[in-house]
Amino acid sequence: MTASPTFLALDRQRPASRAAVRTLQAVTLLGLLVAGIGPLFWMIKGAVSTPTQLTSKPLALWPDNPRFGNFSSAYTDLGVGRSLLNTALIVGGCWFVQLFVSTTAGFALSVLRPKFGNVVYGAILATMFVPYSVNMVSLFLTVIDVPILHLDLGDTYWAIWLPAGTNAFTVLLAKQFFDALPRELFDAARVDGASTRQLLTRIVLPMSRPVLAVISLLSVMHAWKDFVWPLVALTDPAKQPISVTFSQLANQAPQDQLIAAMVMAVAPPVLVFVVCQKYIVAGLGFTGVKG
């Protein structure tokens, strides 16, 4: 026998039930805070500790004499400043290329709907089943000798920027979002004489801020943490991003300065998420992407 909705509603109104629910919510929230903020706090604590404190008191909540100068030392002595600038250049180019390709491709497939659009869309989705590592050899051969143009893009940022546009998942996100927009707006704009460019820039993009934020976040996060492809494509240490620099500093840099450099490397993507979280949550809910 199942309880009636009225009985369940009355049961939730009891003081004991309300206290149990609030306690469970508080414990869950506290657990999420510890799981999310705990590692960040522990990393900041390690960044302002001395190497001796890291080994003698690893479980201390905060060092006795915090050394905030580790950040400036990591920035100058370890060359983290240059690596962060290289990373910012790589991320900026990847973000622009991926956002441009995803929005224009999604707009063409969803709004313009060319004759062979379904075939093209299927071909784009098929690339999602090919592992990234499998494409690396062919991608490298393409980069060092671009077909038709015969250009060598090796050891340049173009070798990182251009492949960022070949992300089928963000094209899928953009198309799904554009499919949900009311087509009456497009028809009315065409009747008023709007061109294809005006349809994209004045109607579609202003209404697509949530999915643009999601695509931007995915692009920034992937470009910021990417390690293998920048290591292969960029052989000049002066051009390599922070992810590659860390692999070279891991065995030679002081531990406290290395952790300080990690904090500086983690801060920008965290700030991007904090600023854009409203649009990101809205975009993920609208496109039906979970997790």
Give the domains, in start order, of the chain with CATH numbers.
Answer: 5-69 (no CATH), 71-287 (1.10.3720.10)
Distances (CA, A) of 277 to 92, 104, 209, 274: 19, 24, 12, 5
Query: pLDDT digits over 8-50, tens only?
Result: 455 566 777 778 888 888 899 888 888 888 888 888 888 888 8
Average model confidence (pLDDT) across the chain: 85
How far is residue 109's CA from residue 115's CA, in Å, rounded to a whole number? 10
What's the rounded mean pLDDT across residues 157-173? 92
What's the rounded mean pLDDT across residues 79-89? 91
How far is residue 70's CA from residue 262's CA, in Å, rounded to a whole number? 11
Q: Which of 140, 180, 157, 141 is closest to 95 using CA atoms?
A: 157
Residue 72, C-beta contacts closer than 8 angstroms, at least 6 positions apart: none
Residue linked to tokens 């579609």: 204
Q: Which two tokens stand for residue 289?
A: 């992407």
Neighbour-count burial of 154, counting CB atoms closer than 10 A to its CB (0-12 exposed, 13-18 middle, 19+ buried): middle
How far is residue 50's CA from residue 67's CA, in Å, rounded to a whole number? 7
Please tell me the predicted confidence (pLDDT) of residue 280: 65
Number of other CB atoms surrounding residue 17 within 10 Å: 13
268 with 90: CB under 8 angstroms? no
